[in-house]
Amino acid sequence: MIAGENSGDLHASNVVKRIKKIDPSIEFHGLGGPQMKQAGVQLRANMVEKLAIIGISRVISNFERVWRIFRRTRHFLETHPPDLLILIDYPGFNLDLIAPAAHKLGIPIIYYITPQVWAWRKKRIYKIKKYIRKALVVFPFEEKMYKDIGVDCTYVGHPLLDVMILTMTREQVFEKFGFDPNKKLIGLLPGSRKSEVMKILPVMLEAAEIIANQMKDVQFVIPRASSISQDLIQKYLDETSVPVKVVDQFRYNVRSALDFVMVASGTATLETALLVCPMVILYKVSFLSWAIGKTFVNIPYIGLANIIAGDMVVPELLQTECTGQNVANKVLNILRTPDELENVRYQLQKVKDKIGGPGASKRAAEEILAILNARQK
């Protein structure tokens, strides 16, 4: 089993737990992070710590490390061929490197949370058709897309709904973390990768200063991703005058209590939509990554909330537009316009309704076990 970033590590770990609950004798090896390890996967490398990278330039600068881990993994597959290989997202490594090597060795491959080929690099769908035994997809429209070209595919639902369990009311959140109930709570979600945080958190903090100067009834919080160190966050907080609280527990409960969010493009935008919280989406990478990436994009939006809605229901600020002043302007405009605020919430509720209900991890585990059991007969 191979996952390469924090969210993939989480969703993979939940599938492992489900499978082991049904059959504790199944042994897992793989590449991933601490959550997979805790679930019982014998890690060959901690990809979340070493290689949770984003952007073409970051891939190029880490090429030697990527290639070294790939060669070690290929050797392991050659010397200890598994009954199944389960890939979770992370297409640059999983689909472009691991899948061809495993296919050549005759190892059956299941892809859980397939690359978003409908959004960018559309031709990757033919690699999936060539190398993958079974695709387990998380959006309902993906199932038809794959089946139309002959890929064995099952829609299992989105695993976020399995992990976004709320146990506290807004009032309880405010009391526990000492937030002022008379002020709006604005969240800063700068991403789960170090490179994202370094690019985006300074922009968010600049926006927070502008907002705080124009609205006195606001307060700010960073629900810190477990893959990001407190020291990295603190480095940027030390350079700003606006008070920002950092929390690293009950993150979904805290996020459910937010009035507004500044969020880095990625899984967090969908999480925020599922919490029906108004947001502005930020995206900023190196110029090289941006220039190359633009040639592969198939759709007009970058945020998952907008992609699923099929419309710009929340603002996106990309690259040169992603400045503190621009972000602050978007936030202030929505917060100061009650009708606009209500409309955004209405549109996000429609996005949430499209995703369906929980149970994705259980359904994915059942599909994996069915293939494993059929193979052993």
155 within some domain: yes
pTM higher than 0.85 for the full model? no
Check the CA dihedral 110-113-117-120 and report its sign: negative
- Of the pLDDT bands very low, low, confident and very high (cuts 50, 70, 90), residue 299 is low
Asked if pLDDT for residue 56 goes beyond 50, the answer is: no
Q: Show the tokens assigned to 253.
A: 């409960």
Residue 138: which domain range?
Answer: 2-159+359-376
User: Taking residues 67-77, what's their average pLDDT?
Assistant: 94
Asked if pLDDT for residue 288 goes beyond 80, the answer is: no
Vertex 71, ends 24 and 26: CA angle to 5°? 5
Number of domains making up the chain = 2
25 within some domain: yes
Return the pLDDT at 100.
97
* pLDDT tens, position by position, 169-188: 999 999 999 999 999 999 99
Asked if pLDDT for residue 132 goes beyond 80, the answer is: yes
Asked if residue 202 and residue 176 are part of one domain, the reply reads: yes
Asked if residue 318 and residue 293 are part of one domain, the reply reads: yes
Question: Among residues 216, 252, 250, which one has the least CA distance to residue 335?
Answer: 216
Rounded-to-integer distance, Cα 57 and Cα 286, Å: 7
177 within some domain: yes
Return the pLDDT at 207.
98
97 within some domain: yes
Q: Show the tokens assigned to 155.
A: 């829609």
Mean pLDDT is lowest, of 193-197, 214-218, 237-241, for 193-197
The 3-state DSSP class for residue 135 equals strand
- Of the pLDDT bands very low, low, confident and very high (cuts 50, 70, 90), residue 287 is low
Asked if residue 16 and residue 105 are part of one domain, the reply reads: yes
Asked if residue 145 and residue 194 are part of one domain, the reply reads: no
Distances, alpha carbon 290 to alpha carbons 276, 285, 293, 322, in Å: 29, 6, 5, 13
Asked if residue 183 and residue 73 are part of one domain, the reply reads: no
- Of the pLDDT bands very low, low, confident and very high (cuts 50, 70, 90), residue 106 is very high
Return the pLDDT at 310.
86
What CATH number did the domain enclosing 235 receive?
Answer: 3.40.50.2000
Asked if residue 121 and residue 41 are part of one domain, the reply reads: yes
Asked if residue 368 and residue 302 are part of one domain, the reply reads: no
Rounded-to-integer distance, Cα 33 and Cα 35, Å: 6
Return the pLDDT at 347.
96
- Of the pLDDT bands very low, low, confident and very high (cuts 50, 70, 90), residue 122 is confident
* pLDDT tens, position by position, 307-345: 888 899 999 999 889 999 999 999 999 999 999 999 999
Asked if residue 321 and residue 186 are part of one domain, the reply reads: yes
Asked if residue 149 and residue 9 are part of one domain, the reply reads: yes
User: Taking residues 217-232, what's their average pLDDT?
Assistant: 93
- Of the pLDDT bands very low, low, confident and very high (cuts 50, 70, 90), residue 55 is very low
Question: Among residues 141, 97, 138, 169, which one has the least CA distance to residue 14?
Answer: 138
Asked if residue 183 and residue 104 are part of one domain, the reply reads: no
Return the pLDDT at 50.
65
Asked if residue 245 and residue 151 are part of one domain, the reply reads: no
Backbone angles phi, psi at 137, to 5 degrees: -105, 160
| CB-based contact 138:360 (threshold 8 Å) | yes
Asked if residue 138 and residue 204 are part of one domain, the reply reads: no
| CB-based contact 155:193 (threshold 8 Å) | no
165 within some domain: no
Chain centre distance of CA 282: 14
350 within some domain: yes
Return the pLDDT at 63.
77
